[in-house]
Amino acid sequence: MMQPTLEYTKRLDKEDSLSKFREEFYLRQGTIYMDGNSLGLLSKRAERALLESVEDWKEHGIDGWTKGKHPWFDLSERLADLLAPLVGAATEEVIVTGSTTVNLHQLVATFYQPQGKRTKILADELTFPSDIYALQSQLRIHEYDPDQYLIRVKSRDGRIIEEEDIIEAMTDEVALIILPTVQYRSGQILDMKRLTAEAHKRGILIGFDGCHSVGAIPHSFSEWDVDFAYWCNYKYLNGGPGSVGGLYVNRKHFGTNPGLAGWFGSRKDKQFDLEHTFTPAETAGAYQIGTPHVLSMAPLLGSLEIFVEAGIENIRKKSLEINQYFMDLIEVELTGLGFEIGNPRTDARRGGHVCLEHPEAARICKSLKENGIIPDFRAPNVIRLAPIALYTSYEDVWNVVQILKKIMLEKQYEKFANGREIVA
């Protein structure tokens, strides 16, 4: 039975099978990092892989394409081999390339093919703004007014999107659906399997933004028959700021010409023929565009090793348990202080972070930082707190709640303005 005591948290930490991975990461003394859902911490293995790649450059120069510890020419494919199990796909269906929004542009340019009355794109009103910007611009390229042709499913409560409402919006005017796997504010997991099946019943292609789920929850993209997906690798996967992103394309779409072609999408044996006739790869590699950013991919070599060892199912198990304990503590310790938990409570519907709502959220976040806690603020009233399975302890979570209680009882937050900083 849950106990809100420090002794109980210490016992949970001793029983934690993933606790050994904590020493793999650079944890700053005197702080508790709760923002790994925005930027994961550096691991020693990621640092080692980066330095090895720098050494390859130093030692081999241009020959680093084919020589050294981590040759560059097929680095994206080798990383895909490590990444594919985390998204439930075959290696050839995954590639490490681009960034989240660039990959979305590529995939929409490829798979948005309006015909007849099927001209609209379906999204939701709670999704991350960059996705909306990309969809609007893709519609403009086709000379469609985004105000008319981009449908955004409404939220009933401002926190979550009901699958029934998405399905109801799947009309015969919809050509393409783009949805998040996990809502970035509330942490709601959408039922990807169900939504994919419903879209396909209606002849609609569907893709998912996995930025807030890959590395935190298991996926089965191939089994669910998802058409495509894309994500960043710097949040739960700890690939570093600006880490190269990832994308998935269902093998049934292999051979579909990329909407945005570039030389790194070439078949490997043809790439350096440098012909003016594009010969695309016969895998997800076809959807690469330009030369890979090697030094922004290298840390993933080390980071993904840890995920192979830890296992995504074990990571999800701890994530659910530590977040449940976090929420239980919040309800016990912070009652009457104006907080409300905004994320879904059932395991099947919640992702890797706790969405804590408060009217003074921006001020509270600033006060948390002053007290050595690194949170994340999302306007107007959300404090996102993410216990990361690989490096957050139960004692960390207990301490965060005690500090939150102290901040509120002492009204420490009142000295700060209730507005976000430049980077929220």
Domains and CATH numbers, the chain: 6-30+312-409 (3.90.1150.10), 49-309 (3.40.640.10)
Q: Per residue in 170-223, pLDDT tens?
A: 999 999 999 999 999 999 999 999 999 999 999 999 999 999 999 999 999 999
Per residue in 114-125, pLDDT tens?
Answer: 999 999 999 999
Instruction: Count other Cβ atoms within 10 Å, centred on residue 406.
Output: 12
The answer to whether 353 is annotated as binding is: no
Secondary structure letter of residue 251 according to DSSP: G
291 assigned to a ligand binding site: yes
Is 227 annotated as a binding-site member?
Answer: no
Per-residue pLDDT of the chain (424 residues; tens, 9 = 90+): 889 999 999 999 999 999 999 999 999 999 999 999 999 999 999 999 999 999 999 999 999 999 999 999 999 999 999 999 999 999 999 999 999 999 999 999 999 999 999 999 999 999 999 999 999 999 999 999 999 999 999 999 999 999 999 999 999 999 999 999 999 999 999 999 999 999 999 999 999 999 999 999 999 999 999 999 999 999 999 999 999 999 999 999 999 999 999 999 999 999 999 999 999 999 999 999 999 999 999 999 999 999 999 999 999 999 999 999 999 999 999 999 999 999 999 999 999 999 999 999 999 999 999 999 999 999 999 999 999 999 999 999 999 999 999 999 999 999 998 888 887 7
- Is 396 a known ligand-binding residue? no
Q: Within 10 Å of residue 302's Cβ, how many Cβ atoms?
A: 22
Residue 255 vs residues 74, 94, 115, 250, 267: alpha-carbon distances, Å: 20, 15, 20, 11, 12
Q: Edge-to-edge strand order for the sheet containing 120-124?
A: 94-96, 246-249, 228-231, 205-209, 174-180, 120-124, 150-153
Residue 9: per-residue pLDDT = 97
Is residue 196 part of an annotated ligand binding site?
Answer: no
63 labelled binding-site residue: no
DSSP state of 252: G
377 carries a ligand binding annotation: no
Determine whether the annotation assigns residue 76 to a binding site.
no
Q: Is 181 annotated as a binding residue?
A: no
Cα 239 from Cα 97, distance rounded (Å): 13
E strand intervals along 316-422: 340-341, 354-357, 373-374, 376-378, 382-385
191 known ligand binder: no
pTM: 0.97
